Structure 1
Amino acid sequence: MTTDSDEQTSRPAAATRSADGVLTGAVLCPVCHQHRGRGVSHRCAAPGLVVLPAPAHRILDALRAAGGRPLVVGGAVRDALRDALSGGASSATPKDVDIEVLDVDELEQLRPHLARVARVDDVGASFGILVATVGGVDFDISVARERSTAGGETAASSRRDFTANALGWDYATGELVDPWGGAADVAASVLRRVGPSFSDDPLRPLRAVQFVARFGWRIDEETLEACRDLAPSYGTVPRSRVWGEWKKLATRGIHISRAVQALEDMGWLSHFPALAAARGVPQDPVWHPEGDVLTHLGLSADAAAASAESSGLPADARLLAVLGALVHDVGKPYVTAVTDDGRITSYGHDTVGDPVAQDFLTGIGSPHVLRDRIGGLVAEHMCHVSTVGSPTKAAVRRLVRRLDRRSGVTILDWARVVDADVAGRGPAGSPPVSGPWVALATELGPSPRKSLLTGRHLMSLGYRPGPQLGVIIAAAVEAQDDGLFDDEEGAVAWFVEQEVPRA
């Protein structure tokens, strides 16, 4: 679709705006290699650009039967074009497909035709979207208010956020539909707002941050300024929508430090106080030559994301790893001190960081169970440094038990954050350190989650219910983790040997 000699396609696309904020200017299309204007209709041949899932053909046929002219729009087109321009293979068949339909006046006009081939839900009806599901694939279907003229295509896409997301693909003709020069911006790795309607949704700056995390693209300065103007409106965005963008950032992003920088560049970092407080907080240059705490957090999250990407980590585990790495040191701003001899210390930042991390996660709308899990990872991310040499069985058992109490966090979840911490130190980054802990935990096998010695055992020995039983069971758990017994019979035998007087 492009050639090595086509150098212009890799340059930032020229763009200006009219007095009313409409995007204008000439740009070179990287698909047909023709100069064209922004804000005017542009179609060029791109046969087979988007690899559609098989059920899509049934949906598209139903929409045409309803009198509409459907265009595949949004991420499926953007990602397919990005792959094609980079010379790589097409992305995997999308599991979610957005379709915009021209030549139809009302969304309800489509429903009976879609219902013949798919399950139709009203989950997005308040946003002007019907969700049709067939063959395990979701199709978000909307109606363009404009007719399918050249100008109609341009006007219909003018309400989208970024030019890269304002692309369409006409399956019937095999053409790329690109009214706003989005193809050139995809080639140049630039996020650029389409028009004045960008400000209609104050979530859009966070969408920009999410795309930076996923693609590593830069945000053009004029769009950054529009994001800055929207900063005061952040409080009007429902937390559920905020969480949607952060979740995508963590489960799909690989450039987390760039996303953090984008938050700062657009004046949005202050909306996330735990991160904002980390900017400028110094660290011991011997251990952290990379710079301040926020720099370290971004690099650690990059390391966690890279590891998750290379290993194909499932989304839930990746969420813990990336967000855990991003907030593992948020306690440092509250305990960092400089000693008389000039050393920088941050003793206790792991314990202090637990509630700070949970406050951050609450602010972005994360589920409660995730907050507890990540808080546990923050609280425990330093425990490996307290052991000289290889960990003991007791130390591993106790760590596994403490983690498990935090909504079932595993030692593998812990290991990913610990290893991201040591990797995210710039020139001082080191290989993983969690190996001996994980290996010993694997050797020991699953540990009982609860005390093997119970109140039932104690009462059968003549002890009465009361505070004494709690003290005895707590001591039994310590002995259990020390490996002094590994079943109920052994627990009772151990306790009898202690000769504890009955209260």
Structure 2
Amino acid sequence: MTTSTFDTTQHPRGADGRWVTTGAGESDADLSTHPVILGLVDIPEPVDAALDTLRAAGMRPVLVGGSVRDALLDPDLKPKDLDFELYGARSPAEVARLLGPHGRIDEVGVSFGVIKLTVPDGDGTHDIDLTLPRTDSKVGEGHRGFAVTTDPDLSFEEASARRDFTINAIMWDPDTGELIDPHGGADDLQAGTLRHVSDAFDDDPLRVLRGVQFAARFDMEMAAETIQRCRTLAPTYDQLAAERVWGELDKVFTRGVRPSRALEALEQTGWLKHFPELDATRSTPQDPVWHPEGDVYTHLGLSADEAASRADADGLSPDRRAVVVAATLLHDVGKVTHTQHQPDGRITSHGHAEAGEQPTHELLTRLGAPKTLTTSVTALVREHMNHQGVGKDARPSIGAVRRLQRRLDASGTNLSEWSIVVAADAAGRGPGAKSDPSQVWLEVAAEHQVTQRPAPRLLTGRHLIGTGMKPGPGFKSVLADAELAQDNGEFDDEAGALAWFAARG
């Protein structure tokens, strides 16, 4: 093998934003060799001290997996998870003994050749995993049905063959700066290609869904041979527990820069059939006047991409980003049952927003999504057409805005998140993209100082009791009418609420 040194200062990234592979003094560097990239990943000093102890004992810790992949995509990233493959170690017990003085050892994974170390650093800690080179043999169903054999003499190529995709099998030695890439993962990373490493890919069907979320997160496409491999695994979907499925799909919503890539991957691999609510949208047409982009399936992907971009621009936290992206990806599933061809040739889908509530809830529940997310997403799907109650160029009443706000708040979401879904729906139509119809709603909310949370009720049960009214079934009706009157602006303080009640008679 040859060694070349990469000048990452002069050639950090290409015009397309991907990592440049040109080495110092050469072009089109062969990434199957061991180029040197010093400082690719920042190793915290306490962690490096622990690694030095292992090096002194004749071991070679090399970083592998997501932290290497992510650093090649963006050198400014500071990875939180550091996973090392540890060559030259004879036993996990030996490694645990050497690392003991450096932090807390978690021996849960020792039987699998994995040592977990928590290293203190000032007020915080660093969690690192060290795995002895190993081979995994499938002996039963599920992700636990493996026999693990550690072997300190395995080659880099043999040890990394058990990994899922080539982009996750790239190694980097923090001591020498060598990039070790026996399966061509760096080339695939640059090309935007997801390619499985070996036949071991078949051992866990969850790897298909990992590919789905990687496609969305990194805007990548699956290699043809990997697509075919995934298609053969489609019948094994039922082996996956819901929590494992959601663990991967959640990353589409929290991190996916192009969620439409996830839909594309599900369709290509034959896995979309396991998500029937989405699968049915492929054959659901839309009126070309309003949706020249094509069927509902196409619209959902384009809209979800828009929602991801807008959520990031607004700085949403991962959990709230997941809500708006998931809601946008599912916002029109109700069209499957509510699309009609009219005699004049038009295609309509009246009532599809409300009709989408049940299939959205059923799909997310089946996938193991958190109840709080499911409740918020379902509400956004139900309410995403609410703006159509206002004519073109007209403004909603403050009462309409406040009532929408209360309904959203009751489901754990708000006007800002609703606005992203509505805007993404309007923009996700290809050449038929529309302006954002939610903005006028936000303008009215701002003019009337409507905050993220609804105003507290000004008339309460305490007030009714104070007037001599006895608690009973009539309370609920009065309080509901009072809330509506308050939202419509008929009163705006406690005195006004009491006057409204007195006038009610």
| TM-score over 0.5 (shorter chain) | yes
Q: Tell me which residue corresponds to 1:254.
A: 257
**Which amino acid in 2 is paired with 1:144?**
P
| Secondary structure of the corresponding residue to residue 139 of structure 1 | strand
Aligned runs of 1:63-462 on 2, under 5 Å? Answer: 63-64=54-55, 68-83=59-74, 90-121=75-106, 128-134=113-119, 135-145=124-134, 151-388=154-391, 389-406=394-411, 408-443=412-447, 444-446=449-451, 448=454, 450-462=456-468
Q: CA separation of 1:273/1:467 partners in 2, compared to 1, >3 Å: closer, same or farther?
A: same
Q: Tell me which residue corresponds to 1:44.
A: 35
Shift of 1:236: 1.2
Please give the per-residue CA displacement for 1:290-315, whole angstroms capped at 9, x wherever unaligned: 00001000000000112233444321
Shift of 1:47: 2.4
Q: Distance in 1 between matches of 2:483 and 2:491?
A: 10
Whether 1:493 and 2:496 are equivalent positions in the alignment is no
Q: CA separation of 1:285/1:183 partners in 2, compared to 1, >3 Å: closer, same or farther?
A: same
The answer to which of 303-312 and 472-481 deviates more is 303-312
Q: CA separation of 1:336/1:2 partners in 2, compared to 1, >3 Å: closer, same or farther?
A: farther
Shift of 1:100: 1.4
Q: Distance in 2 between matches of 1:127 and 1:480?
A: 63
Please give the per-residue CA displacement for 1:75-115, whole angstroms capped at 9, x wherever unaligned: 111222344xxxxxx13121111111122233343334434
**Which amino acid in 2 is paired with 1:77?**
V
Q: CA separation of 1:211/1:455 partners in 2, compared to 1, >3 Å: closer, same or farther?
A: same
| Secondary structure of the corresponding residue to residue 45 of structure 1 | coil
| Secondary structure of the corresponding residue to residue 44 of structure 1 | coil
Shift of 1:36: 8.3
**Which amino acid in 2 is paired with 1:238?**
A
Q: CA separation of 1:210/1:472 partners in 2, compared to 1, >3 Å: closer, same or farther?
A: same
Shift of 1:364: 2.1
Q: Distance in 2 between matches of 1:198 and 1:428?
A: 41
Q: Distance in 1 between matches of 2:195 and 2:306?
A: 28
Asked if structure 2 preserves the Cα contact closer than 8 Å seen for 1:65 and 1:113, the reply is no
Shift of 1:117: 2.7
**Which amino acid in 1 is paired with 2:469?**
Y
Q: Distance in 2 between matches of 1:402 and 1:482?
A: 15
Q: Number of paired residues?
A: 465
Please give the per-residue CA displacement for 1:217-246, whole angstroms capped at 9, x wherever unaligned: 221111111111111111111222211211
| CA RMSD after TM alignment | 2.6
| Secondary structure of the corresponding residue to residue 278 of structure 1 | helix
Q: Distance in 2 between matches of 1:308 and 1:497?
A: 46
Q: CA separation of 1:169/1:404 partners in 2, compared to 1, >3 Å: closer, same or farther?
A: same
Shift of 1:122: 5.3
**Which amino acid in 1 is paired with 2:438?**
S
Q: Tell me which residue corresponds to 2:138.
A: none
Q: Distance in 2 between matches of 1:440 and 1:58?
A: 58
Asked if structure 1 preserves the Cα contact closer than 8 Å seen for 2:43 and 2:174, the reply is no
Identity of aligned residues (%): 48
Asked if structure 2 preserves the Cα contact closer than 8 Å seen for 1:213 and 1:254, the reply is yes
Q: CA separation of 1:166/1:432 partners in 2, compared to 1, >3 Å: closer, same or farther?
A: same
Structure 2: tracts of 5 or more residues without a match = 1-5, 16-20, 135-149
Q: Distance in 2 between matches of 1:455 and 1:36?
A: 72
Q: Distance in 1 between matches of 2:471 and 2:111?
A: 57
Shift of 1:205: 0.6
Q: Distance in 2 between matches of 1:247 and 1:396?
A: 31
Shift of 1:119: 3.8
Please give the per-residue CA displacement for 1:349-389, whole angstroms capped at 9, x wherever unaligned: 11111121122211222100000001111111111111121
The answer to which of 244-253 and 107-116 deviates more is 107-116
Residue from 47, 72, 76 that aligns with 1:56 = 47
Structure 1: tracts of 5 or more residues without a match = 11-28, 84-89
Q: CA separation of 1:420/1:121 partners in 2, compared to 1, >3 Å: closer, same or farther?
A: farther
| Secondary structure of the corresponding residue to residue 307 of structure 2 | helix
Q: Distance in 2 between matches of 1:296 and 1:313?
A: 23
Shift of 1:140: 2.6
Please give the per-residue CA displacement for 1:187-241, whole angstroms capped at 9, x wherever unaligned: 3221111111101111001111111111222211111111111111111112222
Q: Tell me which residue corresponds to 1:13.
A: none
Q: Distance in 1 between matches of 2:98 and 2:486?
A: 65
Shift of 1:116: 2.7
Q: Tell me which residue corresponds to 2:143.
A: none
**Which amino acid in 2 is paired with 1:185?**
D
Q: Distance in 2 between matches of 1:43 and 1:330?
A: 49
Shift of 1:401: 0.5
Q: Distance in 2 between matches of 1:223 and 1:404?
A: 44
Shift of 1:448: 4.6
